Amino acid sequence: MTQRDILTKAPITLTQEQATVGNKVLRNTYLLLSMTLLFSGLTAGIAMATNAAPLHWLITLGGYFGLLFVVTHLRNSIWGLAAVFALTGFLGYTLGPILNAYLSLPNGSQVVMTALGGTGVIFLALSGYAVVSRKDFSFMGGFLMVGILVAFLASLGAMLFSIPALSLAVSGMFILLMSGMILWQTSEIIHGGETNYIMATVTLYITIFNLFLSLLQILGVMSGDD
pLDDT tens track for 199-221? 999 999 999 999 999 999 999 98
pLDDT tens digits for range 88-147: 999 999 999 999 999 999 889 999 999 999 999 999 999 999 999 999 999 999 999 999
Per-residue pLDDT at 93: 97
Q: What is the DSSP letter of 130?
A: H
Helix (H, G, I), strand (E, B) or coil at 183: helix
pLDDT tens digits for range 3-34: 444 334 443 333 666 667 778 999 999 999 99
Q: What is the DSSP letter of 191?
A: T
How many angstroms separate the Cα of 218 from the Cα of each of 17, 65, 212?
A: 44, 25, 10
Q: For residues 222 and 168, what is the distance between their CA atoms, to the nearest angstrom?
A: 11
C-beta of residue 50 within 8 angstroms of C-beta of residue 97: no
Count Cα neighbours of 174 within 13 Å in the Cβ-side half-sphere.
25
Q: What is the mean pLDDT of residues 174-184?
A: 96
C-beta of residue 130 within 8 angstroms of C-beta of residue 137: yes
Asked if residue 2 has pLDDT above 50, the reply is no
Q: Poorest-confidence range of 14-28, 59-73, 92-106, 177-191? A: 14-28
Per-residue pLDDT at 154: 92
Per-residue pLDDT at 160: 83
Q: For residues 27 and 39, what is the distance between their CA atoms, to the nearest angstrom?
A: 19
Question: Residue 53: which residues within 8 A CB-CB, separation 6 or more?
Answer: 97
Opening angle at CA 52, ends 50 and 56, nearest 5: 170
Q: What is the mean pLDDT of residues 72-94?
A: 96
Asked if residue 43 has pLDDT above 50, the reply is yes
**pTM score:** 0.88
Domain ranges (residues) in the chain: 15-222
Q: For residues 126 and 140, what is the distance between their CA atoms, to the nearest angstrom?
A: 14
pLDDT tens digits for range 151-168: 999 988 888 888 888 889
Percent residues over pLDDT 70 in the chain: 90
Asked if residue 149 has pLDDT above 50, the reply is yes
Q: For residues 215 and 120, what is the distance between their CA atoms, to the nearest angstrom?
A: 11
Q: For residues 163 and 196, what is the distance between their CA atoms, to the nearest angstrom?
A: 39
Q: What is the mean pLDDT of residues 171-192?
A: 94
Per-residue pLDDT at 3: 41
Per-residue pLDDT at 131: 92
How many angstroms separate the Cα of 46 from the Cα of each of 94, 101, 212?
A: 11, 15, 19
- Write the single-letter amino acid at 66: G
